[in-house]
Amino acid sequence: MSTRNEPQQKQQLKALEMTPRRKQFFRMVSEGLKVGFEGEDLSRVENFVRYCKGELEYKALGPLHQPSEEYVEGLRAKPWWEPQEFEWISEMEERSSIVIDEFKAFWNDPLSGFAKDSVNMNIMGKGWSGVRLQRLGEWIPENCEKFPKTVKLLKELKIPLAVRGVMFARQVPGSGVSPHTDGRNFILTTHLGVDVPEDCWIRVGEEKRSWENGKALILDTSFEHETRNDSRRDRIVLIIDYWHPGICHLTKAEQEALAFVYDLRNKFESGEIPLEEPEEKGLFGAFKRAFQQ
């Protein structure tokens, strides 16, 4: 995630030095793809890895488009997408009362609470917090138990959830999220209005829009975006991250390989995989053994 204070590509390239940690990551990526996808044509995924290494130069596809080195070629890029472009959005809007009512019950519980747990709180700001249902592709049982109907609905909709997250996000009055980009051009994000007062907005690229209760906004967060709540009460939205529809044009093997790379990246970023872990242990060892059985 980066801010507008420094050109996106310049900032990303600073982080591309081949440190021991990065060498370990890309070694595990290479070995994992060979072991798990032997005989498959993974040229597009291999190019994705080359972008990640900084060997290929990614391209911005419009004003304020700021993709990162985690870049998939050939995907359509636009700040805003429309609900009719996704079959599951209309059903989610029709059944949004399930989400809204369940959130109200949660909000009335004195033991409920939001966490300021973003790794980029300097960008998100003091007024932002969230309740995560899913993070890095894993459902969070203790939070899902508080929203069983919402989780059931999300699973029934068969949303192609990406390995990033699903969460209720709160913005307190007089606060906002600073301009930034999430970088990854292969993930889209939907915001479902849950409890939205007037005088709240989100800008993606050059256009501002406002949330509505029970309605969805669909955005590409590889474009610069920011939010603001100038009302006198909290703003609540349900945020859902999922694969860009262009990913569906990849083969099943390519989709699984891309998910593997991104999941491995998340585990490195979270510290789940320690530095210079022996290859026969941990995630790679488990992955390798699974495909050798």
Whole-number average pLDDT of the chain = 86
Please give the CATH superfamily to which domain 80-243 belongs.
Answer: B-lactam Antibiotic, Isopenicillin N Synthase; Chain (2.60.120.330)
Q: For residue 8, give the 3-state DSSP assignment.
A: helix
**Every domain of the chain and the residues it spans:** 2-76+249-292, 80-243
Average pLDDT over residues 140-145: 94
Nearest to 45 by CA among 191, 247, 275: 247
Residue 17 clears pLDDT 80, i.e. is over it? no
| Buried/exposed code over 34-64 (b: 16+ C-beta within 10 A; e: otherwise) | eebbeeeebebbebbbebbebeeebeeeeeb
Average pLDDT over residues 74-100: 96
The 3 state secondary structure assigned to 150-207 is HHHHHHHCCCCEEEEEEEEEEECCCECCCCEECCCCCEEEEEEEEECCCCEEEEECCE
pLDDT value for 270: 74
- Residues 35-69 have pLDDT tens digits of 999 899 999 899 999 998 889 888 888 899 998 88
- Residues 230-271 have pLDDT tens digits of 999 999 999 999 999 998 788 889 888 988 888 888 788 778
